[in-house]
Amino acid sequence: MTTHCIAINNIQRIGDSHAFPLDQWYVAGFSSELGDKPIARTFLNQKVVLFRTGEGQVAALEDRCCHRSLPLSCGTVEGAGVRCGYHGMLYAPSGQCIEIPGQERIPAKARVKAYAVVEKNQIIWIWMPKTEGAEPTKSAPDYPHHDDPLYKFGSGNYHYNAPWQLIHDNLLDLSHLGYVHLKTIGGNARLHMNAEMNVTQEGEQVRVVRLMPGSTPPPTYKAAWPFGDTCDRWQEIEFDLSHLRIWTGAVEPGTDAIDDPHRGGFHMRGFHGITPETATTCHYFWSMASNKHPDMPENIDEVVRQTAFTFDEDRLVIEAQYRNMLEFGEQAKWLDIHVDVGANRARRIVSKLLEQQQATDMAAA
């Protein structure tokens, strides 16, 4: 219970980027989102404009022209950068202004903050530094399934009026599927609640494995794979600070073992990038990759459609949960049950990172 209280207090600090773990890669979006217009987003209380130059370079700048503070996201993208929509100042991906219409001399201070970004596996990662201008100290995460020919994927994003760690809680505890997602990936609720579960931790990563042999195939599985009356299901969840990787699926009984890393059957590989916007709101960038049964029609469009439907259901639950937390205030004490082990470990990781960061800040003050 103490762990929950610490975490909730941390996420309620508003207006301070240090309320979140810094010197970390966070998900800023997907490659497919960047077209010919800039995108405005707020990450960790920092207003950012994302764009792809005409030369193909992805960039992220402070969303503010240094002249009169119009958001650069109100401007236009050109070959060399983004042009302010007020007086036409052109900014390179470095944040330096490289053109002021009608003025030859460009002051050195005509620049805005630039963020390190990496485009990898069709995901855009942004480095949120503790010290402005600091270079990344580690590589952006890998997610090879987007580029694996065995899979096809679709993606989307949500804006949540709820703190980011409530999304972690939801994704690390899939026992709720039998109650919330009956039309898609649910199934027998009692079987979900009593599934064999193994929770492990290595450094700042939490892994939850749930095995459910003898399950009734839920609607999404039946639509994509020719299961009979039962199937053997698995759920493998890996938590990292900025994102979760969830591998779910099923095999027909009597075929592959559901703990065999090379098992066949129907696979759903979900990517879940959870990026704080403010203390009380967040971005949820998701993708779902799936394989195809050789004797069934292409299934990815239906899998993605049903995945989006499940996320709609989750958002309703989580936002209602958070509204109730605010309404009840200090009365909203949480009672832990057996399915909360993974989520509690993730919260302890975030709390520990914040405590270390705050100790460093105090020592430097």
**Residue boundaries of the structural domains of the chain:** 14-128, 150-355
Query: Mean of the pLDDT values across residues 118-135?
Result: 95
Residue 41, SS3 per DSSP: strand
Please give the pLDDT value at position 16. 67
Amino acid at 173: D
Residue 48 corresponds to which amino acid? Answer: V
> Could you say which architecture CATH assigns to the domain 14-128?
3-layer Sandwich (2.102)
Single-letter amino acid code for the residue at 273: G
pLDDT surpasses 90 at 319: yes
User: What's the whole-number mean pLDDT along residues 279-305?
Assistant: 92
pLDDT given at position 335: 87
Q: Compute the distance between CA of residue 63 and CA of residue 69 in angstroms, rounded to an integer.
A: 8
Per-residue confidence (pLDDT) for residue 227, from 0 to 100: 94
Q: Name the CATH superfamily, with its identifier, for domain 150-355.
A: Naphthalene 1,2-dioxygenase Alpha Subunit; Chain A, domain 1 (3.90.380.10)
Question: pLDDT category, 11, cuts 50, 70, 90?
Answer: very low
**Residue of 360 and 234 predicted with greater confidence:** 234
Summarize pLDDT for 236-265 with one digit per residue, the tens.
999 999 999 999 999 999 899 999 999 999
- pLDDT cut 90: percent of the chain above it: 78
Amino acid 15: pLDDT: 52
Mean pLDDT of the chain: 91
- Look at residue 9 and tell me whether its pLDDT is greater than 60: no
Burial class of 150 by CB neighbour count within 10 A (0 to 12, 13 to 18, 19+): exposed
Q: What amino acid occupies position 42?
A: T
Round to whole Å and give the CA distance between 165 and 142: 22
Say yes or no to pLDDT of 45 above 70: yes
